Structure 1
């Protein structure tokens, strides 16, 4: 088996393991904000690893370049989308935990208490 196939299988397997960790984080974390954090950070790493492994597996320049561009798109779009979701849910007070005593972000957003 060529070394590039071993590397690609390793990257895709590692990305799949990170995806499983993302699912566990989404199921186990208590509130919407920590769940969004699990979805943003770990799923972004997972998507980039899987696309890198796929690009190495294909081993065609133009097709690999397209796959790498998809990975770069994941790298930029997923954190921005989860930030927008977190900000909108905070602004609308969706699932705001009661144990937060200091909320410095509400003055910045102008949210009414």
Structure 2
């Protein structure tokens, strides 16, 4: 049963990484690309790391991985927000005129 959950979490993480990559390649402007990258990469990484937590069981390593999950959960959306805000201030994005 443990291997089933590990497999499901890894496949889910791979799915979200793949969808995020396709979104980066297919979306037309910076704002939609960073949205795709932030949402999908965060969820993909969290699912893959949760599979590692299940694989390692209750240990000190699991605690470290959980701390990495919290770090990713906080920093990835924050960095994406700052990139989007900087692109708006620099004039890179002109109110979605490219769409």
Question: One fold, TM greater than 0.5?
Answer: yes
TM-score between both structures, scaled by the size of structure 1: 0.81
Match of 1:11 in 2: 9
1:98 offset after TM fit, Å? 2.2
Match of 1:44 in 2: 42
Q: How many residue pairs were aligned?
A: 98
The CA distance in 2 between the partners of 1:80 and 1:34, in whole Å, is 16
Structure 1 residues 1-113: aligned runs within 5 Å: 3-96=1-94, 97-98=96-97
Query: Secondary structure of the residue that 1:94 maps to in structure 2?
Result: coil
Greater relative contact order (Cα < 8 A, sep 6+): 2
1:60 offset after TM fit, Å? 4.2
- Encode CA deviations 1:28-72: one digit per residue, 9 max, x unaligned: 000000001001111111111111011111224111111111111
- Larger Rg over CA atoms: 1
Decide which structure has greater helix share.
2
Aligned-residue RMSD, C-alpha = 1.4
TM-score between both structures, scaled by the size of structure 2: 0.92
The CA distance in 2 between the partners of 1:61 and 1:21, in whole Å, is 32
Which consecutive residues of structure 2, in runs of 5 or more, have no partner in the other structure?
A: none
- Encode CA deviations 1:70-110: one digit per residue, 9 max, x unaligned: 1111110000000000000110011433268xxxxxxxxxx
Runs (4 or more) in structure 1 with deviation over 4 Å come to none
